[in-house]
Structure 1
């Protein structure tokens, strides 16, 4: 197993207040090598916007020795192109596969660039269906905030799908692309590198920013899927958003947060409380997280609406 780099150098404070860390590129930050051969361009923890060019998730890549595997197509054609330019500075190996972590815009809107390079694009079947269904709205929203930076972006879904697991042997790595069950959004996957005990978790795991709960987020299912995720016993976690970290941190701010919020809302429901009251349950133990102001009340409301019918 690789000795790996200490994560301390990568664990700077979350960066919601910093609009752009890499002004010469549309990428929010220059890629960093998390452990040997595994890189990630860490996105902003703020919501996507013009200043961060929509790069508010992590765009990772694995240099296998026999080609590069990219995790996430990026939120636009321009972001995908910028990431590819960085990859070319790091290695002469061609990009041989792109993996979309789910069906959201920041995972798939850059797919058109990769398809133009004739790179296969892999996603879970539910993520592909989600993007096909909601793609026009996702693209329109990105064009609205990204303005001229959206140039070249057109809808392009994955070219290959899978249901439970896809195992890829490439160069020095075995790469296991896994759907662990219902979680943050339809078709969530993780990319597990068992030889080096590193997982690229996608939106299965959060820690520097508050996790968002959408209408189609299954919080009860997420807690069940979490047990399978934790059973990987990963040493290194590259989350969907925020700096590389470890399992203890993402457990604290993902599983523990979900358990905490569901506990508060469940008690409120038992006492005959209302949706309006749910917005004001006490989430202050998590108030230090980025996007807390935007998401806390919304999360509580959606959990209330879900738990009413559980």
Structure 2
């Protein structure tokens, strides 16, 4: 019951969003100390702000699963130091070795810590499209990380995953069945989720956002993301969701801030197009229902412009 109560508290209190808190865990390179979401599933919740020197680039969720016969990690983090710090936290709660790391996609915050795990002899798994994206964009991600986090990016190098898959990668380890699944196009190439069917918990990666506004990238196909959500992600009927960003919650909350936001913004841009509106004015369509989200100021206008550019040719 204590896990349900703690999760309900996180759901009920948007004040837990932490865009304005520079660092919640000064004793560690991690932004926050890992919390046990349900028994044996932990997550170090990243800042809901953009990457900064103060948060060490830890602005996504780094999770791990203690199976009884080893530990499985979701995301290596945005640097060597973050991966090492997460390992220190894992060793503080279990003697079981880390046996597998999943990268949720090909972005820097998922893969730039891979070098640390590779040095520990741990297999690193990602979707084929995520691996390709990292091969193409990893150097740029690393340059960006160094520019922002400076010496906190020391020892961070480009190490790709050594195992890739297309549809699913299923692991039975200890007491856990862990299913890494590619559900379809979403936030970025090769986005995967990690599904624990017996626990009804999904580590969603960037399929789902909570407490902060999601970014729409040039290669984010919003119509496809909505379709993937409705046909493959929502049907999981997960009780617990550890999102890519923001605190652990439930499906209703991540739907509200992910799928519903995408639908809302597309409707606004669609109406703007029907009225003959141009790109310059599209940036300023009304997004006030979502102004409470962290990163709203940084992302709202960019998101509107990118959706306009997509929908103009749909």
TM-score tier after normalising by the smaller chain length: over 0.9
- Counterpart in the other structure of 1:304: 308
Partner in structure 2 of residue 275 of structure 1: 279
Q: Verify the 8 A CA contact 1:5 1:36 in the aligned structure 2.
A: no
Instruction: Determine the structure 1 residue equivalent to 2:4.
Output: 5
- Report the alpha carbon displacement of residue 8 of structure 1 after superposing the two structures with TM: 2.9
Q: Which runs of 5+ in 1 are unaligned?
A: none
C-alpha contact (below 8 Å) 1:178/1:192 kept by paired residues: yes
Partner of 1:69: 72
Aligned partner of 1:124 in structure 2 is 127
| 1:107 equivalent in alignment to 2:106 | no
Cα deviation, residue 9, structure 1: 4.1
Which runs of no fewer than 5 residues in structure 2 stay unpaired?
none
Range 225-234 or range 12-21, more displaced: 12-21
| Residue in structure 1 matching 2:297, options 287, 293, 296 | 293
2:173 counterpart residue number:
170
Output the CA distance in 2 between the equivalents of 1:259 and 1:133. Answer: 30
Partner of 2:201: 198
**What does the per-residue CA deviation read over 1:109-140, in whole Å, with 9 as the maximum and x for residues that have no partner?**
00000000010000000000000001111000
Q: Deviations over 1:147-167 (max 9, x none)?
A: 111111000010100001111
Identify the residue that residue 95 of structure 1 maps to in structure 2.
Answer: 98
Aligned residues: CA RMSD? 1.0
CA distance in 2: counterparts of 1:191 and 1:280, whole angstroms = 36
Query: CA shift at 1:5, angstroms?
Result: 3.5
Report how far residue 142 of structure 1 moved: 0.1
Task: Give me the whole-angstrom Cα distance separating, in 2, the residues matched to 1:209 and 1:4.
Answer: 23
Count of matched residue pairs = 309
Question: How far, CA to CA, are the matches of 1:5 and 1:172 in structure 2?
Answer: 21
Deviation at 1:271, TM superposition (A): 1.5
1:220 Cα deviation from its structure 2 partner? 0.4
Q: Which residue of 1 aligns with 2:144?
A: 141
Structure 2 residue corresponding to 1:19, chosen from 6, 19, 22 = 22
Equivalent position to 2:85, from 74, 82, 87:
82
1:232-256: CA deviation from partner (whole Å, max 9, x where unpaired): 0000000001100000001111111
Secondary structure of the corresponding residue to residue 70 of structure 1: strand
Moved over 4 A (4+): none
What is the TM-score of this pair, normalised by structure 1?
0.98
Query: What TM-score, normalized to structure 2?
Result: 0.97
Which residue pairs with 2:191 in the alignment?
A: 188
